Amino acid sequence: MSKDFRFGRRMPLPSTLQIRHELKVLSELEAARKKHALHDGLPETASWDDIGLFRAQAERGLAAKAGNP
């Protein structure tokens, strides 16, 4: 990371390659979140917390059905 002066202080500035890499990672994470949300029947704007809660409830429902034949 290169150093530059901002507001009278020396601050690390990310390189263009680092910024591109971080944007690619963010894009892939968002695509995965959308894919998992749609697979579970949730809206594509559902957060990871919503997806986890939905899956936990589904697992509890399946466990309850398996315990009561």
Give the pTM. Answer: 0.69
> Whole-angstrom Cα distance, residue 43 to residue 51?
10
pLDDT of residue 8: 74
pLDDT of residue 3: 63
**How confident is the model over 8-52, as pLDDT tens digits?**
777 777 889 999 999 999 999 999 999 999 999 999 999 999 999
Domain count of the chain?
Answer: 1
Residue 25, amino acid: V
What number of other Cβ atoms are within 10 A of residue 37's Cβ?
Answer: 19
CB 38 within 8 A of CB 44: yes
Domain that holds residue 12: 2-67
**CA 34 and chain centroid, separation:** 9
